[in-house]
């Protein structure tokens, strides 16, 4: 199969879909890989590295799309990239379609087969391609939040760990999943007062068993969320409903009552955010204030530590890329129900129920689309 890796063009996005090591794996299996020039240069992967791994280096993104059958990216395709997609393409990347109607419409119009990292599952019902970036984002959320708490950034001027004789800052984490548990580890390590809320009692038991009295675990109700958010120095939004828009746990009215200079790091912003006041920002302009509350809502947080993120992501995605290349899209999806769960758009139809529901559009089952799917390979 011909596999294409375009350079990411989202603001301050330095990750790359395939590392030279991943390209070498595909090349050894006889596949042709096209990589846009400088696609990995910002994180230390030169064109020469890709050529040594067996890739063809293309001068433009257009050349990559024209040559490839399978397009492997990191972030959702932007408008100019979506215009290059054709019906014979299979796109494998993060999509986050539920809060993004324009992207959804244009992917449907392209006729391409679009598989989203964030809805691929495993045998335990987990999200293995979302997990590595959630781990990174969870850890980064505490770094970003601590920085935003500095007075010069509009924050309360609070040191999360405190000092002898001065109480630590209070961190409230909404969601005890992958993002929340990694944020929790960092916050506890800094010595902060930490409260985590979740609707899963099993998740709360797991965190309580791990941290004991170093954290407070609470069952998530509207009243509990409100009480904790209003007394927090730093709130981490780490809630997730796979494929669907994030639930709005923090209302605009609640934000008005938060402590002046408190910080909200909304890691759920890729799926629309968990606060009514959240809107996506970029690494170039990451924060804004609403009612004196600092909002950090960068939609590609792991892009700031792009080398670590790329290596972690490739560890998870490479087996699926190899399967798509070796078997072709249709057979790879037929053989693996977990990969099939990643199918969001195909032949102009939405095949992910959560995405269809978010936009009020018709839903066609992934299994129903498969028999008519044009194979890329």
* C-alpha span between 377 and 306 (Å, rounded): 30
Taking alpha carbons only, the member of 268, 303, 307, 258 closest to residue 282 is 303
DSSP output for 283-313 = SSS-EEEETTEEEE-BTTGGGGGHHHHHHHH
Say whether 109 is catalytic: no
Q: Which of 49, 198, 266, 270 is catalytic?
A: 270
Chain Cα centroid distance, residue 10: 13
Longest dimension (CA), the chain: 68
List residues bridging with 347 in a β-sheet. Answer: none
What's the helix, strand, coil split of the chain in %, to 5?
A: 40, 20, 40
Structure tokens at 190: 């800094």
Say whether 202 is catalytic: no
Q: Which of 31, 49, 89, 96 is catalytic?
A: 96
How far lies 293's CA from each of 25, 97, 156, 191, 233, in Å? 47, 28, 9, 23, 10
CB 250 within 8 A of CB 276: yes
Structure tokens at 372: 């008519």
CB 297 within 8 A of CB 271: no
* C-alpha span between 67 and 86 (Å, rounded): 12
Helix (H, G, I), strand (E, B) or coil at 217: strand
CA dihedral 250, 238, 259, 213 (to 10 degrees): 120
Active site residues: 96, 270
């Amino acid at each position: 199969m011909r596999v294409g890796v375009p350079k990411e063009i989202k603001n301050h996005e330095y990750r790359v879909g395939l590392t030279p090591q991943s390209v070498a794996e595909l090349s050894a299996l006889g596949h042709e890989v096209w990589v846009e020039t400088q696609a990995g240069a910002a994180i230390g992967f030169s064109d020469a590295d890709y050529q040594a791994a067996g890739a063809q280096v293309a001068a433009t993104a257009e050349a990559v799309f024209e040559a490839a059958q399978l397009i492997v990216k990191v972030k959702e395709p932007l408008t100019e990239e979506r215009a290059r997609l054709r019906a014979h393409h299979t796109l494998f990347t993060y999509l986050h379609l539920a809060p993004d109607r324009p992207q959804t419409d244009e992917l449907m119009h392209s006729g391409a087969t679009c598989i989203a990292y964030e809805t691929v599952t495993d045998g335990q019902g987990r999200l293995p391609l979302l997990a590595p970036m959630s781990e990174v984002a969870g850890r980064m959320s505490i770094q970003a939040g601590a920085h935003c708490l500095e007075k010069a950034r509009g924050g309360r001027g609070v040191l999360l760990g405190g000092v002898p004789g001065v109480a630590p800052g209070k961190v409230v984490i909404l969601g005890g999943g992958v993002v929340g548990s990694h944020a929790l580890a960092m916050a506890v390590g800094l010595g902060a007062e930490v409260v985590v809320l979740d609707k899963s009692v099993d998740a709360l038991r797991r965190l309580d068993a791990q941290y004991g009295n170093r954290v407070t675990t609470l069952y998530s109700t509207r009243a509990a969320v409100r009480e904790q958010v209003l007394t927090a120095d730093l709130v981490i939004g780490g809630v997730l409903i796979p494929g669907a828009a994030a639930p709005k746990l923090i209302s605009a009215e609640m934000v008005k009552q938060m402590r002046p200079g408190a910080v909200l790091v909304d890691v759920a912003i890729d799926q629309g955010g968990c606060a009514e006041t959240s809107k996506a920002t970029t690494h170039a302009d990451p924060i804004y204030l609403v009612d004196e509350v600092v909002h950090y809502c960068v939609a590609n947080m792991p892009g700031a530590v792009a080398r670590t993120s790329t290596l972690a992501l490739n560890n998870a995605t490479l087996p699926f890329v190899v399967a798509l290349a070796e078997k072709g899209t249709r057979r790879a999806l037929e053989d693996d129900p977990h990969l099939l769960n990643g199918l969001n758009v195909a032949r102009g139809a939405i095949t992910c129920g959560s995405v269809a529901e978010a936009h009020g559009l018709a839903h066609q089952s992934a299994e129903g689309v498969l028999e008519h799917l044009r194979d890329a390979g």
